[in-house]
Structures are given as C-alpha cells and as structure tokens.
A and B are shown apart, each in its own frame.
Chain A
C-alpha cells in the first residue's frame, strides 16, 4: 500500500516538474557530470539542460571565473559536434575555451549592440535545436524576458546561460537557477609551487524545486570535480600556525 502511494507521489512530482518546464527529464543530452554534489541540488539529481541558468557577477574577475565555470559546465554535456553560440562576447579569448574541452571553432561569437538585438538573438538561438548551448552577457534581464527565454528552450532543449554583470537589481526571473561563482585559491599536487587547476566556489542562490547551497569545484584539466577542499583547509591551517 505504502509502495504504491510513494509511486503515485513520485509520478505526480515528475509530471509537475515536466509541466514546469524541467525538460532534462524528457530525453536530453547525456550529462557526464559524474558524482558531483552540486547535482544533488537539482531535482532528480540531474543537471537541468534545456533550461536557462542565470549567473550574477560583480567584478571582472568574477566574470572570468563565471565564464570559465560555464565553459566547464557546457563541456560536460556538449556532444562531439555540438555548436555553441556566445552572445555579447567582448573580451572572451576564444583559444582559452579549448582548455575547458570546447573546440573554439564550434563557437559562434555574436556582438549585438542594442538591447532588442540581444533579446532577439538569444531567443532565436535558444529556439534552434541544432545549437547545444547559448551563453549571453545580458545585464538587465527582466522577468518577462526570462519567461520568454524559458518558453524558447522548452521547445528546443537548448541550454541557456545568462551572465548578469552588476545588475541594477537582483529581480526575480524565470530562470531555473541563479548562480554566483567566485574564484578560490587553487591547489597543486603535493604543494608544489605554481598555480594549480582553476577552482571555484559555486553558490546556488536559488534553484527551482531544488536546494540552494555552496559547492566547491575545480576543473581538473578534462573534467569538473569536487575539490578536496578539506585537505587544502588543513594545509592552510598548518601554514598559518607554523
């Protein structure tokens, strides 16, 4: 009796999620995300592709950390021949995308100027099924605009990433998640000198039907992984106390 009840509830929950536009539950890209704890934050422990994610940044350093994190995320689900569209790409250095597992020649960089052009292009790109991911630099994203983006991705299962640099206000949007990425100290093997793998503190400020929280991750050359932050913290402690 109990079993059937939980089954029914589970099924109803799935249906509600699907109705809410959580499209990754309907056959999407296989996500090579391994066992990242950040996936627990999302419904059904799956990274939601076919949705729009929103990233808040404050400084240029934050923006670069965010761009790197987005590139790392994209490469976890990008098919071998996948195409990425990057809207408002001023300053992005294409060859660097290769380090995050994206072939830079598969990325189209578009430079719209007017706000209406940005909206039109992001929407069109999200609606295109042949495009795997769309990254857009879009500071003032209103609720209505984000709703339109959500409607666009629901048809195509394309994943959108909107970078909002210093938005005037953190208004509510229809995006599935709101992230804030900051860089953290990198660590190298056996404390060798030099700069190690890029490491981030990825904070999920809001997740629709999920759990907000902070996750520390790093890009280990070819995959995203949970970083052994405990060890680093202990080492840091040792260093301070001598």
Chain B
C-alpha cells in the first residue's frame, strides 16, 4: 500500500492562483518564491508608497514587513484595515517578540527565520481558509468528485499525477 503522506515538494510551482499580493517590503527579492508560485506581486519599498498603491488598485492580500522605517508595519496595517478590513494581512518580521496589541490588524505573523516556504503557505492559508461570511459562495455539485477548478490550489496535472500514481502522497 502506498504512502498517504505528502511530500512538501508537491505544493511548489503547481498552485493555480490568480491572486495579487501587495508586498510592502524593503527587499522584495526576499519574496520571489511567492511570484514563482503564481502570485502577482505589486511591490512597495516603504509604507507611504504601499498605502498609495493600496488605494489605487485592488489586491487580494498584503505581505507587510514589520520594520519599515518612518511608517512602520503596524501603523500601515491599521490604516489598511480601516479601509478594507476583508483584505488579509500577513506581517513578516525578524522576530516574534511583538506586543499582541500591535497585531490587532494583522491576520498572520511570520518570522523570517521560518523561511520563504512557510510564508508561501501562510499567504495561501489566509487567502483560502476564511469564515463563511468572507468566503466566496459557490454552487456545490451533487457529486464530490475530485477535480481541478480555478479555485483549486493544485493544478490539473498534479491531480492527474495523484490519480495515476506518479505523484506520491
């Protein structure tokens, strides 16, 4: 009987996403894994530019660095949540020693030490695991056959691989 546990590599470079992320980060190169995995990135190197971009175009989620200089990540998160509270914010920090009160506007906190894959997984989580009021309603088919769809995070070829046994899990 085959293994039922999945390898981490199954999740890389196969996600079918069309989501746009606003990345407010001093070094956007650190976020390249997000782009490699299908996310469209809109980048800003500081808080003022980030807020301007946020106001000027629709984005699905925000990746926000905690230390940004004059206008820090917490202040930006507070501003963003006042305008569009439904947009999830993932805060990226050098350490997790951040006062809880400073994080009331943040949906997830990721330490840089946890690595880019964990950031990728967290972004995917906040975009997909939502309460009913935030989730997009979609008709449920009468049979629940596994199939690829635009909202399915794994692409059709991965599902095909799972079915024919070339992808191990």
Co-complex (A, B): no
Q: Which residues of B contact A (CB under 8 A)?
A: none
